[in-house]
Amino acid sequence: MLAASKYAPVVLLFVIALAIPVLMIGIATIVGPRRLGVKKKVPFECGTEPIGDTRKRFSVRFFLVALLFIVFDVEAVFIFPWAVLFRQLGLFGFIEMAVFLFILILGLVYVWKKGALEWE
């Protein structure tokens, strides 16, 4: 491994980065006293006591809206630079953008017809 010496600093960095947390947690576990109790498990100076689980279920419709949003957001991202350079791009640019928009509009028609835009 001739090239190995080139990577020695990287390996050293890995070793140090691993050693520091291992040492800190390790020493604390070995040296520190352990007295578990009810009082120790309550939230400490962090505001109110938690109620319920943070993992709430919410409607799958939000994902659909997010997906549709991304599609049309990306469309806007493509259209802005094209609009700025419209004159330089000429007819070819116009046709390209027309093809792109045509495909996107087909997509819009599809989701509309399938009822993906209705909340209920």
Kindly state the smallest distance separating residue 23's Cβ from other proteins, in Å.
Answer: 28
Instruction: Please report, as a single letter, which amino acid is at residue 117.
Output: L
Among 69, 72, 78, 110, binds other proteins (CB under 8 A): 110
Rounded to whole angstroms, the Cα distance separating 66 from 60 reads 10
Q: Which of 99, 58, 59 is nearest to 78 (CA)?
A: 99
Query: What's the chain's Rg over C-alpha atoms?
Result: 29
Closer residue to other proteins, CB minimum distance, 72 or 110: 110
Question: Helices 86-113 & 61-84, crossing angle to 10 degrees?
Answer: 160
Closer residue to other proteins, CB minimum distance, 10 or 30: 10
DSSP E strands in 1-120: the ranges are none
- State the number of binding residues for other proteins (CB under 8 A): 12
Stretch that binds other proteins, among 20-28, 43-51, 79-87, 107-115 (CB under 8 A): 107-115
Rounded to whole angstroms, the Cα distance separating 101 from 98 reads 5
119 binds other proteins (CB under 8 A): no
Kindly state the smallest distance separating residue 48's Cβ from other proteins, in Å.
Answer: 36
Tell me the two tokens of residue 40. Answer: 């120790």
Among 114, 115, 118, 119, binds other proteins (CB under 8 A): 114
Q: Which residues bind other proteins (CB under 8 A)?
A: 1, 3-4, 6-7, 92, 103, 106, 109-110, 113-114
